[in-house]
A and B are shown apart, each in its own frame.
Chain A
């Protein structure tokens, strides 16, 4: 291959929370310094971008124009990338992505199956533009939709377009966006407010964060269009406090948009004015609920209220308010630019457009993905997600966050859309998708979600505040091997009461993970309650650790590592775990050298071992 230094190279480095945690900022710095040293500055430009979505392989570096895709790049790899790829025109093969199934090395971004099967609309700019430079966004046609909206369209026309597009709220509930805007538009009271919900509290979800970090202008543009449509200059964006980078980039975006007259008074010289204020959340999951979020902006405790009135009639400061999710706003400019018909052509009858998921857990390719509505779960988990980590067996996939549901293997052919997921006992939610393998205990996991919801309950409705701890008590008993035959029935009853007796989305859906888990994994529940075993070997009261006498070499590593001194032994003695003292932390299992593999974890099984240490070989 010939040297192509006549070429203009662009090196894109992902600098979102995931990759930055893996020190991608150091890579950018190293690239910049070394490009100067090698006097390549004329031909090579370093650009940092937001999230590429393929977080598992981060930090990710893409070299354009070829679109070569480098994964898990370290600072030390920088000289080789510059010397070999840029100067000698020879790609750095060892940094290619390797297909986890076939082992095949893939050099180009567009050929990586993780991307080739996606349709990235909401994530259109993520990973391709520098989120801190408005010119990058403008170069992709940014703010053209806002211009079209305010100079060529009347508010009812915009609302009609959004309604006809079939866009439904991407925050999870799936309320038709056009209908919401229409009601807010028709509301007489002034002032009105446009609010963006970026309080992404679901553990295992980072869709909104990635969009805000990677493409903040798309959200601001969508909000401004909403403001014009419903007739207000006031916008608020509520972002989770745990997302400092998203807040920083939003702030920069607002300043830059104002400088270019794309926000503030008299946008683009016209009559419409619109301003956005950022509000940082303070760590309350329940504030993802609309009415609680608005109370929180007002500086109150974020406790949901009875509806009606709905927030389009009486929202922030009791004024008409249109609240939409980050991804909903990011979709709006696309619909205005390309038309409702185009948007309607994607997705299913009832769910139009695409869905973004943060796919995590025991999955080979953790990351952020976007697929058309109606895509089947199997395709997402196996084709895009690359299947279960370390070749283990798939057990369940959980959608809809902590109050969603766990779906078993038999439902993998379910299409992803609002209705199908709800019918199956889960929900779309805002887009968290957690994959579980056979090492995950469904009872333990249900208990985990329940604890989360109980901790986050605001305490207003008694069934949620008091009922969830009661359910947790029962589940504690079950996981400790003290479950009674009627406990499962009790949980179902209690869950039903909490569901029907709570006001907001948190309470009404909190029992979902337990109920769906019982529905699809009844055998596992019965194993805990009746046989007192934990088939996934997770619940501590139901498992034991033993050191196999015929394998133990008496090296003493486990005994030294045991935090509670439960292992006795000595040099060249077969070690023995004191079952009374053992806290089942699994440290011994982890520390026992692979060549011995003497420690085992079992459930409902007794393994005969010496009472006291005896010499190896006896």
Chain B
């Protein structure tokens, strides 16, 4: 399993060998593939760049884009930018948190959903907005949130008991 991971990693990172600008693009390439940065990524990228894994991790942890834990099948990014804020974005976030039962920054244990907030996806005319994977949804109301995140039978069961 781990050797597999390292092999895949090396394949992704091969094009970066010997290039000057590599650290952030390499981290992005790995995250694109795995959805997050496994620990070995820091070591592998460090090896190519001639840096310690610590330095690589230091860079990765500085930028909001990089994650060190896996994300859910449906990755939900709720916009909390200014336009969304004044049009009720905070309440949309709360409604989603209630609907899928996790807080922003968390992933459901079954890896179905992960939830994060972003500051502006640049579709302000459609505020409040959110993105599920690549799909943007705009002009949201709490009613639409309920439709986007229908209660599963299991959740119903829990809330009824």
Contacts and interface: CB of A to CB of B under 8 A. Distances in A.
Interface centre among B27, B121, B129 (most CB of A within 10 A): B121
Contacts of B142: 587, 590
B108 interface: no
Given A21-B129, A282-B24, A361 B83 contact: yes
B85 interface: yes
Interface string A258-286: 00000000000000000001011111110
Nearest to B139: A22
A434 B94 contact: no
Contacts of B84: 203
Given A282-B24, A282-B63, A586-B91, A21 B138 contact: yes
Interface in A353-369: 358, 360-362, 366-367
Interface string B121-134: 11111110100000
B49 to A, nearest CB: 7
Contacts of A545: none
Interface in B16-35: 21-25, 27-28
B62 A284 contact: yes
B82 interface: yes
Contacts of A205: 120, 122
Interface string A186-228: 0000000000000011111110010000000000000000000
A585 B90 CA distance: 10
Given A55-B125, A205-B120, A590-B142, A398 B63 contact: no
Contact of A452 (B22, B23, B119, B125): B119
A58 interface: yes
Interface residues of B, number: 44
Contacts of A17: 121-123, 136
A241 interface: yes
A360 B121 contact: no
Give the interface size bracket for A toward B: 35 or more
A405 interface: no
A301 B120 contact: no
A585 B91 contact: yes
A302 interface: yes
A57 B111 CA distance: 37
Given A358-B124, A361-B82, A434-B82, A277 B65 contact: no
A402 B120 CA distance: 12
Contacts of A206: 120, 122-124
A406 B71 CA distance: 37
Interface in A548-588: 563, 585-587
A279 B122 contact: no
Contact of B86 (A301, A358, A436): A436
Contact of A299 (B24, B87, B98, B125): B24
B59 interface: yes
Contact of B21 (A55, A299, A360): A299
A336 B125 CA distance: 34
A203 B81 contact: yes
B113 interface: no
Contact of B62 (A301, A452, A590): A301
Given A204-B83, A448-B85, A21 B119 contact: no
Interface in A482-536: none
Contacts of B83: 203-204, 360-361, 366, 434
Contact of A282 (B21, B28, B119, B126): B28
B126 A241 contact: no
Interface in B63-90: 63-66, 80-87
Given A398-B82, A434-B82, A283 B64 contact: yes
A22 B140 CA distance: 12
B86 A440 contact: yes
A481 interface: no
Interface string B78-117: 0011111111000100110010000000000000000000
B124 A360 contact: yes
27 contacts: A17-B121, A17-B122, A17-B123, A18-B125, A55-B126, A201-B119, A203-B120, A204-B124, A206-B120, A242-B120, A242-B121, A279-B25, A282-B64, A283-B65, A299-B22, A299-B59, A300-B23, A301-B62, A302-B63, A361-B83, A398-B82, A434-B86, A449-B82, A452-B119, A458-B62, A585-B94, A587-B142
- Give 9 closest A-B pairs by Cβ, nearest first: A299-B23, A203-B81, A55-B125, A366-B125, A283-B64, A282-B63, A21-B136, A204-B82, A360-B124
